Amino acid sequence: MNNTKVRRTGIAVAAAVLLPFALAACSDSSSDTSAAPAATAGDSANTGEAPPADSVTADEPFGPACSGVPKEGAGSFDGMAEDPVATAASNNPALSTLVTAVKQAGLVDTLNNAENITVFAPTNAAFAKIPKADLDKVLADKAMLTKILTYHVVGQKLTPRQLDNGTFATLQKGMVTTKGSGEAYKVNGSASVVCGNVKTANANVYIIDTVLMPK
């Protein structure tokens, strides 16, 4: 009987000693299990996957008219990036009327020597929307032509994101407004950007389908 009591007492003491360690082990095990998902989430955050599209600002030209830009040579995007804006525009056949107007107004050096500007550049088709008699009259009036052309120039380089909902002072001292997102932008509510974010040596160019008229 005494030996039996001793054995039972020993077992009870052993159980009492081992129980806390067993509980601690269980606690550590469940702690490891709950930590695993957090580690997995952290690992996936560092996989190098691209962020959502709306958080990325593209640095490439965009718009339907960009497909008409030459792939090589001075009139290509790479070629235009090496020249100041008036020279770069002269190498783009779609901007020949604008280049003629800039020369007529004596603004070639002004635009080429300016630093960090944005030019909203009307295409030949944009000028063609103006009745010929009116266009000829404007081209013959240097003061009026200068006023119109400098209204297309903003004294800072604008990124596409800045065009989402912006108002900017022009070299003509008037204001232009821009609205849109992604690859669809309007200037003054009427002119659409048909090829945007074109880089030249001293300017960002947004080619538009309508001539802007200052008030």
For residues 54 and 191, give the distance between their C-alpha atoms in angstroms, rounded to a whole number: 24
User: Helix, strand, or coil here: 176?
Assistant: strand
- Please report the sign of the dihedral spanned by the C-alpha atoms of residue 22, residue 23, residue 28, residue 29: positive
Residue 44: pLDDT above 60? no
Q: What is the pTM of this model?
A: 0.73
User: Position of tokens 């240097």?
Assistant: 142
Residue 28: pLDDT above 70? no
Cβ atoms of 179 and 187 within 8 Å: the answer is no
Mean pLDDT over 64-79 rounds to: 93
Q: What is the pLDDT of residue 58?
A: 57
Q: Quickly state the pLDDT bin for 149 (edges 50, 70, 90).
A: very high
Mean pLDDT over 128-150 rounds to: 96
- Please report the sign of the dihedral spanned by the C-alpha atoms of residue 121, residue 125, residue 131, residue 137: positive
Q: Quickly state the pLDDT bin for 4 (edges 50, 70, 90).
A: very low
